[in-house]
Amino acid sequence: MKQRRQQNIVELLRNCDWLATDILAEKLDVSKETIRRDLSALQQQGKILRQHGRARLIHPKSRDGGEPFGARLKSHYGDKVDIARHALDWISEGMTIALDASSTCFQLARQLPNIELTVFTNSLPICHEMARRDRITLICSGGTLARKYRCYVNPALVTQLKSLEIDLFIFSCEGVDEQGTMWDPVEHNAAYKAQLLSRASQSLLLIDKSKFQRSSEVRIGMLSQVTQVIHGDPVSRR
């Protein structure tokens, strides 16, 4: 019965862009709690995307639904600047840090002092920003430039990282769901974050509160892998 109901949910979503949880419950004549459990199961199977009390079907052949970098840079601008400022407390002279291509990490890069640091990144805007700091050693991941996201895609990233000892990886993500899974809308960005997360000695997740209880197309890893989450309010240690 549960399996058939979940199949019905998939069929309903196949014909819609988004459907609200209460509408699904009404159509299938079950409680909202039952629908939420079904949606959680379908999400873990990688079949649906959940966001703010609604769901839609994931289309594996078109996993490129992320916003362009320019649009993300304007969204929640003040929150991102504040979150980045809190992250500065974790950075000290002599460290090797890795930054992802998120707009929040770009705000962090803009605030970085000109001290002896090594910065590894796949972000074109962060590379431009770090070029202005003569005491910072910049290592770019290189590869093919994805212009929409203004980041580099490098299939040889695993080999490149073997020669680097990353003290701290700082990143953001599209969402963290109820189970503590971190998500990203783009395959190559999720892969970059997953690899750095597994290699770095410590990690910081920079995320505003609107992204909690939210998922996306590609799984990065679990929140339990992160050393600390910074979301603008007093920091929360994992």
Residue-level pLDDT at 237: 41
The mean-pLDDT minimum among 56-70, 100-114, 206-220 falls in 56-70
Residue-level pLDDT at 102: 95
77's CB contacts (< 8 A; 6+ apart) are none
The mean-pLDDT minimum among 6-20, 65-79, 111-125, 173-187 falls in 65-79
| Helix orientation angle between 2-14 and 32-44, rounded to the nearest 10 degrees | 80
Look at residue 10 and tell me whether its pLDDT is greater than 60. Answer: yes
Spatial distance between the Cα atoms of 55 and 24, rounded to a whole number of angstroms = 9
Q: Does residue 186 contact residue 153 with C-beta atoms inside 8 Å?
A: no
Residue-level pLDDT at 225: 97
Structure tokens given for 40: 């959680």
Q: How far from 148 is each of 63, 119, 123, 130, CA to CA, in Å?
A: 14, 23, 12, 21
Q: How confident is the model at residue 236 (pLDDT cuts 50, 70, 90)?
A: very low
| Structural domains of the chain in order of their starting residue, each with its CATH number | 2-58 (1.10.10.10), 69-237 (3.40.50.1360)
80-108 tens-digit pLDDT: 999 999 999 999 999 999 999 999 999 99
DSSP state of 66: P
pTM of the model: 0.74
Residue-level pLDDT at 60: 52
Closest to 161 in 3D by CA, of 119, 120, 124, 116: 120
116-150 tens-digit pLDDT: 999 999 999 999 999 999 999 999 999 999 999 99
